């Protein structure tokens, strides 16, 4: 690959993760139930990717979808849960804390791997797990303000989001012969179907008021933060090394934290900043250790 193409793909990937990182701050300006936003993002995202596939000359591969239907639907179910937990956390606690706790997902995968794939946890990865756990405790606010003054539900939600992300990883490992675009449209559609009953149940006695700003921002989250960002992500993913993806991927929580601090004015205390550093570096190190040079 030429150096110019490599730079273009790197920029595409960076733009995608930066877009992802602004989701939390944007969500705080939407005056709609978080689960409704999740449902809308799934629907609009699915339609957006179908449009982009048409523009790019890609076709819906029904044969590949059918042969992978069960893990695709299951991963879409986990994706819906991941978004519900994370978006609810963004509303309850600071975006910075929610984003950082959610980014323990790679550590969750490392913990689960020995039980599912009989992969031995190397000592260095065990250190990463312990370091990330310390980071979670520091970031949660338990140390600085005491457990009685912390929104325990709020800090549990992003941890649950990280946990169900493991389900997405497991399902994706079993997929065969299907490209990223076809995978995405089924997973996004399945996530919307998963969340829809919860939207109806949780808002059965509520009157939802739609304002123009909220509608435009929901459209933005669906079309840009899902449709455009996913396409940028897919187009660049196969051309970058695993190391580049692991390192650049952590721009997302960094952008979320910066957005939380400078846009929403949700500051972290000293313990929070130390915890943030521990989580990001331990998770990034865990992904880098033993990784291959390129993605197949």
Residue 3 has pLDDT above 70, yes or no: no
Q: Which two tokens stand for residue 198?
A: 């919860």
Under 8 Å CB-to-CB from 199, ≥6 apart: which residues? 33, 35, 36, 39
Alpha-carbon distances of 208 from 3, 36, 80, 203, rounded to whole Å: 51, 10, 21, 8
pLDDT of residue 296: 39
User: pTM (2 decimals)?
Assistant: 0.88
For residues 93 and 256, give the distance between their C-alpha atoms in angstroms, rounded to a whole number: 13
For residues 23 and 36, give the distance between their C-alpha atoms in angstroms, rounded to a whole number: 15
Mean pLDDT value across residues 131-148: 82
pLDDT of residue 292: 47
Mean pLDDT value across residues 188-202: 96
Q: Which two tokens stand for residue 238?
A: 């196969």
Mean pLDDT value across residues 149-164: 92
Mean pLDDT value across residues 166-182: 91
Q: Taking the domains of the chain in order of start, what are their residue ranges?
A: 3-288
pLDDT of residue 161: 96
Higher pLDDT, 6 or 275: 275
The most confident of the ranges 67-71, 265-269, 270-274 is 67-71
- 104-118, 150-164, 201-215, 262-276: which has the minimum mean pLDDT? 104-118
Residue 280 has pLDDT above 90, yes or no: no
pLDDT of residue 2: 60
Mean pLDDT value across residues 287-294: 57
For residues 189 and 50, give the distance between their C-alpha atoms in angstroms, rounded to a whole number: 11
Residue 242 has pLDDT above 70, yes or no: no
Average pLDDT over the chain reads: 88
Mean pLDDT value across residues 6-25: 92
- Please say whether the beta carbons of 6 and 239 come within 8 A: yes
pLDDT of residue 5: 75
Residue 206 has pLDDT above 90, yes or no: no
Q: Which two tokens stand for residue 91?
A: 């509303």
Alpha-carbon distances of 186 from 22, 77, 231, rounded to whole Å: 24, 10, 15
pLDDT of residue 290: 55
**DSSP secondary structure string, 199-263?**
HHHHTTT--PPP-HHHHHHHHHHHIIIIIIHHHHHHHHHTTSBHHHHHHHTTHHHHHHHHHHHHT
């Amino acid at each position: 690959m030429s150096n110019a193409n490599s730079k273009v793909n790197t920029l595409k990937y960076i733009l995608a993760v930066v877009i992802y990182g602004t989701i939390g701050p944007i969500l705080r300006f939407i005056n709609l139930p978080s689960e409704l936003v999740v449902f809308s993002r799934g629907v609009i995202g699915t339609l957006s990717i179908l449009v982009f596939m048409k523009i790019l000359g890609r076709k819906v591969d029904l044969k590949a979808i059918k042969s992978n239907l069960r893990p695709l639907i299951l991963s879409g179910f986990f994706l819906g849960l991941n978004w519900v937990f994370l978006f609810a956390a963004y509303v309850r606690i600071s975006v910075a804390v929610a984003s950082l706790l959610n980014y323990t997902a790679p550590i969750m995968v490392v913990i689960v791997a020995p039980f599912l794939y009989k992969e031995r946890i190397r000592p260095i990865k065990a250190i990463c797990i312990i370091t990330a756990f310390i980071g979670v405790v520091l970031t949660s606010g338990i140390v600085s303000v005491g457990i009685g003054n912390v929104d325990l539900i709020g800090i549990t939600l992003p941890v649950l989001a990280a946990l169900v992300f493991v389900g997405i990883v497991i399902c994706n490992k079993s997929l065969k012969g299907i490209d990223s675009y076809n995978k995405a449209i089924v997973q996004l559609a399945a996530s919307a179907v998963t969340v829809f009953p919860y939207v109806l149940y949780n808002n059965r006695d509520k009157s939802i008021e739609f304002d123009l700003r909220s509608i435009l921002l929901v459209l933005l989250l669906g079309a840009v933060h899902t449709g455009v960002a996913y396409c940028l992500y897919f187009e660049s993913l196969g051309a970058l090394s695993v190391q580049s993806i692991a390192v650049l991927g952590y721009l997302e929580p960094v952008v979320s934290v910066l957005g939380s601090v400078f846009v929403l004015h949700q500051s972290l205390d000293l313990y929070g900043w130390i915890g943030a550093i521990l989580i990001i570096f331990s998770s990034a190190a865990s992904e880098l250790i033993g990784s291959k040079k390129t993605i197949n």
